[in-house]
Structure 1
Amino acid sequence: MFQALPAPIHELGRLFEEAGQELALVGGPVRDAVLGRSSADLDFTTSARPDETEAVLRRWTHGGAIWDMGREFGTLGATRDGVKVEITTYRTESYDPTSRKPEVAFGDTLAGDLSRRDFTVNAMAVRLPSLEFVDPFDGLHDLAGELLRTPVEPAQSFDDDPLRMMRAVRFVSQLGFTIEDRTAAAIRGLAGRIEIVSAERTRDELVKLLVGAHPRRGLELMVDLGLAEHVLPELPALRLERDEHHHHKDVYEHTLTVLDQAIDLESPEGSGGPCESPDLVLRLSAIMHDVGKPATRRFEPGGLVTFRFHETVGARMTAKRMKKLAFDKDTTKAVARLVELHLRFHGYADSGWTDSAVRRYVTDAGPLLQHLHRLTRADVTTRNRRKARALARAYDDLEERIDDLAAREEIEKIRPDLDGNRIMQVLGIPPGREVGEAYAFLLEERMEHGPLGEDEAERRLRAWWEDRG
């Protein structure tokens, strides 16, 4: 399988051999090749020190571009004929207990370098140019058994680099693997160490987990092993206690089911359809949509449990958590808005909406309308089939009305019938606060009554202005 490596890679191996140095393909590319998958990243390790690596790369690229931003850590990179490589000198590392940044020391052996990898399935290598397969920690056996195990004692591995704990649950989501018992126990005992890792790096692992093939399994492990308490505490908080007097839905299990159902509603990957899989915004909103329930739970007379305004509280909690995890502003705003709107439809199911209410629903959702459609449908987890069918029919009806209004009114681009310049002309006023108030009045009229036409809009605007005195 490794003979199929690009020709420039085989030549690179020969150049290192001629220089009296070792070179080996390591980590994910080796694992993926064994699994029959392609890998865009080609990571190598070498006995050569950075200056020696640079000299070989100069020959390999024929004087082309080389980047060395990671030289301090022994890493250099280069590209040739569309093939990108990163090469790192054999390393041994020790860690400051208060930081995950390693104190780098160069090593002398491939086996030693592989021992510092996160999991045995990533501690396999292929020597170049000989293509000798190197597997000192039986990673191939673990790969066949779909098992995650550390090359060294798991407590030492996770204490040295706590981010590896998040990588473990991420690999469960991406690859469908199982975490070996001793490795899982070590994560459970050291989960709090994840807090020394930067928010950005933790977020990146969480995102990779969420867009993986099995995100529910990854999230369940985060909760079971205690990582979620430090990364996404709102999720385990949904495991509200239940007793014989106050029966209510298990919000945690409901949330995971909503996630599964939302994923089922994504458009196929590569289709170009709305919410194309994997859709991070949709998946995050499914996870966060009910996080406001613990804070708003009230026990009412007769055993009724309520969560009034949990969507509003949840939207604020979502924005706060995503900001703490260093998500970008657009993603944070989108997910929080979906959490805020996720209950809006239920008023439609109870009583028919006017056209005005439908316009407001579409306008409030804005560019997130397709996400809101899917989140709302996914949020139906009742076991009462009759109720589920009724809700589905009601939402079908709402979507049909939205489509009908869209065809007649371009509902997704609702604007007042007069723009700001025309408002100033009609009323004879300069730019200022009153123009904004007049614009808001006309927008409200447009929402309530549909397209008015310029003449009618001017008449109503003048009447409103006169009423103001």
Structure 2
Amino acid sequence: MTQPPNKIDATSIFPSDPDQMDDDQAFACWVVQRLRDAGHVALLAGGCVRDLLLGNTPKDYDVATSAHPKQVQRLFRRTIAVGVSFGVIRVLGRDNRIVEVATFRADLGYSDGRHPDGVRFTDPREDALRRDFTINGMFLDPLSNEVHDFVGGVDDLRAGVIRAIGDAPTRFEEDKLRLLRAVRFAARFSFNVEEATARAVRAMAGQLNVVSPERILAELRLLLTARSRRQGAGMLRDLCLWDHALPELGAVATDEGRWETTCRLLDHWHESISLPLCLAALSATMPQVDARKLVEPFFERLHGPNDERDRTAWLTTHRDGFDNARGERPARLKRLMAHVGGEELLELAEARAEAGLADDVEITHARRLRDRWTDEEVDPAPLLKGHDLIKAGIQPGPRMGELLERIRDEQLDGTIGTRDEALAYLKTIKAD
């Protein structure tokens, strides 16, 4: 047993008065109490303990217990068995609240480098020793605020260190995704990766490819979209993971000048951003034709969603769309702004200007226009549609599309504003 970090009052990590608990805390505490009343050991476990010790609000609560899965299911009315063979049951509460309850276990080998071959139910100490990093290996009794730390997690929280539990190569051999998770946790909390753990990551970086594409993408999404994306990208590079996690962007990490500019781009945002926007920023120092080429291989390799692939492609294709904003027709600027990625494109332009890749005067002009124009001015309802042109004697086909685009441009430029004006304009251009 160790004490929490000095800045944390051990008696107030978890509210002792139920009236002071939020609904998630109250539900987690109720689950622990119910297991205790049935004669089982039950403790909060893992990430929620880490977050509470850091003074953060956990996004969810996990409970570790001596109760076996069937015993857990008998104790709670609403449960979902998500991994009975691994001892994991989800307990459901009101308002879609979920607490995942897992039996204390030891894992029996990882022959595929991803999943345990089996488990043996055990005690808290052994359960802690099979986890990934010390800061994730602690337990908390929410009823007494006692921290159960068998792995030195509290000391590492105090020191700001990401350290594998036990032998680092063994931990990474069990689950290669931990290579990326080490970077994500270090970036998220502005921690350092402990030396032996860092050596193991560098030595084993090439083994990341045994992890499923979906799991890699999920981890990269958390890493690259977070406020700490710049620190995370730097650690991917420093720990030799870049070429295995982001091979499509290899040229970004090998050129020092390009890398420094990329870091300035990533530093532009002080909040979370989307994966398409981050990828567009990461590729912004590459020639535009090369940047576009990275999109499809990245999403194909990692089985990413088509809508994100398309938005990333659009952002890279139009990244210079506001570079000459003062000389552009309003119609062109409004078309860009009206796109689903329009606001992200403006943000990318501002980041490029800040990093010296675009003229700040031009980008500032574009931002002022967007702030001045209403959404209705940026994307008004079309004055004419296809059936209007058919009535005017225009046959369906490419010509009709061209005429509709010309009419739309005039509308967006503000030179025509009514249906009658659009019909009159059509008469002047349909013979062109």
Shared fold per TM-score greater than 0.5: yes
Deviation at 1:190, TM superposition (A): 0.6
Aligned to 1:306: none
In the alignment of these two chains, the number of paired residues is: 410
Deviation at 1:337, TM superposition (A): 1.4
Q: Select the residue among 368, 393, 405 that pairs with 2:361.
A: 393
- Provide the secondary structure at the position in 2 that maps to 1:379: helix
Aligned to 1:268: none
Residue 41 of structure 2 is aligned to residue 30 of structure 1: no
Cα separation, partners in 2 of 1:455 and 1:116, compared to 1, 3 Å: same
Aligned to 1:228: 242
Aligned to 1:69: 82
Preserved CA contact (<8 Å) 1:199 1:324: yes
Q: Select the residue among 257, 262, 267 that pairs with 1:255.
A: 262
Preserved CA contact (<8 Å) 2:162 2:194: yes
In the TM superposition, what are the counterparts of 1:196-235 in structure 2 within 5 Å?
196-235=210-249
Q: Select the residue among 44, 62, 70 that pairs with 1:51.
A: 70
Q: Select the residue among 309, 320, 334 that pairs with 1:343.
A: 320
Give a deviation string over 1:384-416, Cα, whole Å, max 9, x none.
Answer: xxx98xx32333334445566x46x95422566
One-letter identity of the residue aligned with 2:401: G
Cα distance between partner residues in 2 of 1:87 and 1:31: 17
Deviation at 1:46, TM superposition (A): 1.7
Preserved CA contact (<8 Å) 1:97 1:159: no
- Provide the secondary structure at the position in 1 that maps to 2:63: strand
Deviation at 1:206, TM superposition (A): 1.4
Deviation at 1:130, TM superposition (A): 5.6
Give a deviation string over 1:150-174, Cα, whole Å, max 9, x none.
Answer: 1120000001101111111111221
Aligned to 2:5: none
Aligned to 1:360: 332
Instruction: Normalising by structure 1, report the TM-score.
Output: 0.78
- Provide the secondary structure at the position in 2 that maps to 1:159: helix
Preserved CA contact (<8 Å) 1:173 1:213: no
Residue 422 of structure 2 is aligned to residue 427 of structure 1: no
Cα distance between partner residues in 2 of 1:130 and 1:466: 84
Give a deviation string over 1:111-130, Cα, whole Å, max 9, x none.
Answer: 11111111011111124766
Preserved CA contact (<8 Å) 1:125 1:134: yes
Preserved CA contact (<8 Å) 1:173 1:210: no
Preserved CA contact (<8 Å) 1:124 1:139: yes
Instruction: Normalising by structure 2, report the TM-score.
Output: 0.84
Preserved CA contact (<8 Å) 1:427 1:462: no
Cα distance between partner residues in 2 of 1:453 and 1:12: 64
Aligned to 2:91: 78
Deviation at 1:19, TM superposition (A): 3.5
One-letter identity of the residue aligned with 1:41: D
In the TM superposition, what are the counterparts of 1:132-211 in structure 2 within 5 Å?
132-211=146-225
Preserved CA contact (<8 Å) 1:78 1:84: yes
Aligned to 1:375: 348
Structure 1: tracts of 5 or more residues without a match: 58-63, 242-248, 265-276, 294-309
Give a deviation string over 1:82-111, Cα, whole Å, max 9, x none.
Answer: 653211112222444434122121222211
One-letter identity of the residue aligned with 1:25: L
Cα separation, partners in 2 of 1:239 and 1:202, compared to 1, 3 Å: closer
Deviation at 1:363, TM superposition (A): 0.6
Residue 379 of structure 2 is aligned to residue 413 of structure 1: yes
Cα separation, partners in 2 of 1:465 and 1:289, compared to 1, 3 Å: same
Preserved CA contact (<8 Å) 1:32 1:38: yes
Deviation at 1:56, TM superposition (A): 2.4
One-letter identity of the residue aligned with 1:418: L
Identity of aligned residues (%): 27
Preserved CA contact (<8 Å) 1:118 1:150: yes
Aligned to 1:301: none
Cα separation, partners in 2 of 1:199 and 1:90, compared to 1, 3 Å: same
One-letter identity of the residue aligned with 2:75: V
Preserved CA contact (<8 Å) 2:134 2:165: yes
Structure 2: tracts of 5 or more residues without a match: 1-11, 17-24
Cα distance between partner residues in 1 of 2:248 and 2:137: 35
The RMSD of aligned alpha carbons is 3.0
Cα separation, partners in 2 of 1:380 and 1:452, compared to 1, 3 Å: closer
Preserved CA contact (<8 Å) 2:32 2:63: no
Aligned to 1:60: none
Cα distance between partner residues in 1 of 2:122 and 2:39: 14
- Provide the secondary structure at the position in 1 that maps to 2:40: coil
In the TM superposition, what are the counterparts of 1:323-338 in structure 2 within 5 Å?
323-338=300-315
Cα distance between partner residues in 2 of 1:278 and 1:321: 21
